[in-house]
Structure 1
Amino acid sequence: MSTDTLLDASVHIFDARGVARRFRHAAIFGALDALHPGETMRFFNDHNPLPLIAQLRDRFGDKLTFTYRQTNPDLTVIDISVADLSVKARDKHAEGGCCGSCG
């Protein structure tokens, strides 16, 4: 990961290494709940959080995407992005289908 890359305003840093392990998952869920569609949480951790990612997929489904930016033994950096579901809905309707929110 390049350290000279400037962060976009839609990318928010979350460094889990500074959060007590006991509170990490709750803090991460809260941070993701606060994001708007199109925003990204750049997540820093001291290990690859595979169980957490499984929990996030269960809770948020297709709303989140995960992009690994760096993985090594002491640091994992993942961009967790919130999908703009309204775009998917518009695309689905353009194809003649239903997004499931029509009622």
Structure 2
Amino acid sequence: MTDAQTIHAEAPHIDVRTIHPIERHPRIFGTLSALTPGDAMLITSDHEPRPLHYQLETAFPGKFLWEYLEQGPDVWRIQITRQDSGCDCCCGSH
């Protein structure tokens, strides 16, 4: 098993297609705040998650690595990996 496959197998996964829209970002940011450096999470969506990516980069520049695993047209899969261990004090406000 490669390192990427190991990360995928062990990473928390949120399928936003099964979550009420108002709960999506709070759940994602709650999961991200629990990650330690080097840990990753997976997100599956039925639309391009560009607003989430923008929000993540704006609130936590350089803290997370965003990697597309699949890019539509029907399903988007993203792996987000924590890069450093700085303060997450803003996560509770999302």
TM range (shorter): 0.7 to 0.9
Q: Does 1:29 align with 2:24?
A: no
2:61 equivalent in structure 1: 61
Q: Once the two structures are aligned, what percentage of the paired residues are identical?
A: 35
C-alpha displacement at 1:84, in angstroms?
3.7
- Quick one: distance in 2 between partners of 1:8 and 1:45? 18
| 1:44 paired to 2:39 | no
Matched, 1:13 2:13: yes
Output one character per residue of 1:20-67: Cα deviation in whole Å (capped at 9) or x when no partner: 011111111111111111111111111111111100111111010111
Runs of 4+ aligned residues of structure 1 deviating over 6 Å after TM superposition are none
How well do the aligned residues superpose, as a CA RMSD in angstroms?
Answer: 1.8
Partners of 1:39 and 1:72 in 2: CA distance: 25
Q: Which has the larger radius of gyration?
A: 1
Listed as ranges, the gaps of 5+ residues in structure 1 are 87-103
TM-score, with length taken from structure 2: 0.76
Deviation at 1:82, TM superposition (A): 0.2
- Normalised by the length of structure 1, the TM-score is 0.70
Q: Which of 1 and 2 has higher RCO (CA within 8 Å, sep 6+)? A: 2
| Partner secondary structure for residue 31 of structure 1 | helix
